[in-house]
Structure 1
Amino acid sequence: MASCPKGHESGTLDYCDVCGARMGDGTASPAAASAVPPPLPATPAAVAPSAAAPDARVCPVCGTTQTGRFCEEDGYDFLLSPPVADPARASSAASTPSTTEPTPSETAPSEPAPSEPAPSGSTPPRWTVTVHPDSAYFEVVRAMGGEDASAMAFPQFAPERRFELTGQQMVIGRRSRSRGINPDIDLAGPPEDPGVSHVHALLVAQEDGWAVVDLESANGTYLNDPSSNPIDPNVPVPVNDGDTIYLGAWTALTIHAP
């Protein structure tokens, strides 16, 4: 360690860290040392705004970033994801006639393509759902009470119906001609279940199966145990082979995996 003119051992080389004298100069004092301004703190670098999440969805109608189920600008339903046509592209394609003449190479006969194996004709099995009345569920609904509970009657005859799950989503509900509602799994009667909403629930395709989503129905949607709480609306809940979805007053939908 260095020594100041007064004989103190100092860990610094400019001013003595004991008496404040300038190293090599005995005229400085602690007051002089304290007059030296401390170094300014480093200015933090400006933080660049984070880019939008790569998986953030935008509305296909207006381009607004999704913040909930419905677009804040035009009401587009991200959960149902209805297809949106591109009118500009369609009108451009319709108004632009094709004027390209075929080249000789295009009109000349080409070499035969290698033969491909013919399809077997059989389609892979798909998930299905069976719709049927459930008397035990009906008794649970009646036990819950309500002003119309005593007037309800379990149907004497209700045929079992089976639907194949195709595409990316299947709407469950009751058709309404006046409102233009035509669900994929139509639970309209006879017999008519009064507790089923016109747009009640949704089956959504997943990577390894399907999930059920309640679409804020009036009477809720139950999975496997109708005496428990209904599933939360607008939240996909995975379903497995043999699971049963309960809705309305007596309607049950049993899931069948391939």
Structure 2
Amino acid sequence: MPVCADGHLSQSIDYCDVCGSALDGAPAPDQAGLRLCPSCATPTSGRFCEVCGHDSALPAPPQAAPVEHRGADPTVLRTPGPDEVHATDSAAPVWVARVFADRDFYVRVRARKGPDAERVDFPDFYPERRIVLRGNQFLIGKRSASQGIVPEIDLGIAPVDIGVSRAHAMIQVDPGGGLTITDLGSTNGTSLDGADAPIAPQVAVALRDGSRIHVGGWTTIAIGTGP
């Protein structure tokens, strides 16, 4: 059984189950990754969802409309008609996620004493990263070879924010080219635009150009359009 640098025994072989720190000698991740269950939005790799039991061989159930977050551009929620699809696709924006260590968010987390607040330390150095969002859905979390989790926005790169869950949240592109964010039942929740209250888990919330997604103990992901 692997032992992390702090002496914790861990069932996982890549990140400590107790403190979330990376373990040395982790094998290369399973590139197959996970997909999002169309019924309950939980990451899953098998035919049947482990949470709701949905059979992936069956048609996806009807989806509820995204919830509009305070301050969001209402045009993000509009679904184009059949005659607009081609024109909308050709003019769809290119979304970019900017990941950085946010001290203001860290101070708020410590003040509200979340589940991992006392164990989270703000990093001395954390280079800002820009990730171009190409595709239809983007998992936010930590790469895990043992669990087959390969996030498009991988927050398991050192220094690691131990408040981030392995499968924390999912960004998805809606039919109109806008984005939504869904918390996947993470331990510490997901909040937006400086709000203290987290968004409801398993509910898609609309994002806009300039939205800030707060996860873990100090990580902020700013969403914007770019070349």
TM-score band, normalised by the shorter chain?
A: 0.5 to 0.7
Is 2:133 aligned against 1:159? no
- 2:198 corresponds to 1:254: no
Amino acid paired to 1:175: R
Q: 1:188 aligns with which of 156, 180, 185?
A: 156
- Bigger Rg, structure 1 or 2: 1
Tell me: higher relative CO, structure 1 or 2? Use CA pairs within 8 A at least 6 residues apart: 2
- Which segment is superposed worse, 203-212 or 142-151? 142-151
Aligned to 2:190: 221
Residues 226/75 of structure 1: CA separation in 2 closer, same or farther (3 Å cut): same
Q: Secondary structure at the match of 2:110?
A: helix
* Alignment partner, residue 126 of structure 1: 94
Instruction: Report the CA distance shift for 1:181/1:139 in structure 2 as closer, same or farther (over 3 A).
Output: same
SS at match of 2:171: strand
CA contact (8 A) 1:128 1:257 kept: yes
The 3 A distance-change label for structure 1 pair 67 and 217 is closer
**Is 2:55 the partner of 1:74?**
no
> Partner of 2:180 in structure 1?
211
Identity %: 39
Q: What are the equivalent positions in structure 2 for 1:1-258 lying under 5 Å apart?
A: 74-75=48-49, 126-146=94-114, 148-206=116-174, 207-227=176-196, 229-258=197-226
Partner SS for 1:143: helix
Does the C-alpha gap of structure 1 residues 148 and 244 become closer, same or farther in structure 2, counting only changes over 3 Å? closer
TM-score (norm 1): 0.52
Is residue 128–residue 165 contact of structure 1 (8 Å, CA) maintained in 2?
A: yes
- In structure 1, the partner of 2:62 is none
Match of 1:54 in 2: none
Secondary structure (helix, strand or coil) at the match of 1:230 reads coil
Runs of 4+ in 1 over 6 A off after TM superposition: none
Report the Cα distance in structure 2 between the residues aligned to 1:148 and 1:212, rounded to whole angstroms: 22
Taking the aligned partners of 2:107 and 2:178, their CA distance within structure 1 comes to 31
Q: Shift of residue 167 of structure 1?
A: 1.3
Q: 1:77 offset after TM fit, Å?
A: 8.1
Contact 1:69 1:77 in 2 (8 A): no
Tell me the CA shift for residue 125 of structure 1.
5.9
Q: What's the RMSD between the two structures over aligned residues? A: 3.0
Unmatched tracts of structure 2, length 5 or more: 1-37, 58-91
In 1: Cα distance, 2:169 partner to 2:203 partner? 11
Shift of 1:149: 2.9
Given that residues 169 and 183 in structure 2 are in contact (C-alpha distance below 8 angstroms), is that contact kept between their aligned partners in structure 1? yes
Paired residues of 1:213 and 1:236 also in contact (CA < 8 A): yes
Asked if the contact 1:142/1:149 (under 8 Å) is kept, the reply is yes
Instruction: State the one-letter code of the partner of 1:250.
Output: W
- Alignment partners' CA distance in 2, 1:68 and 1:191: 31
SS in 1 for 2:181: strand
Please report how far the alpha carbon of residue 152 of structure 1 lies from its aligned counterpart in structure 2 after TM superposition: 2.7
Distance between the aligned counterparts of 2:223 and 2:113, measured in 1? Answer: 28
Unaligned runs of 5+ in 1: 1-65, 85-123
Q: CA deviation at 1:214?
A: 0.5
**Number of residue pairs matched by the alignment:** 150
Could you give the per-residue CA deviations for residues 35-75 of structure 1, whole angstroms, max 9, x where no partner exists?
xxxxxxxxxxxxxxxxxxxxxxxxxxxxxxx87557xx932
Does the aligned pair in 2 maintain the 1:240–1:257 contact within 8 Å? no
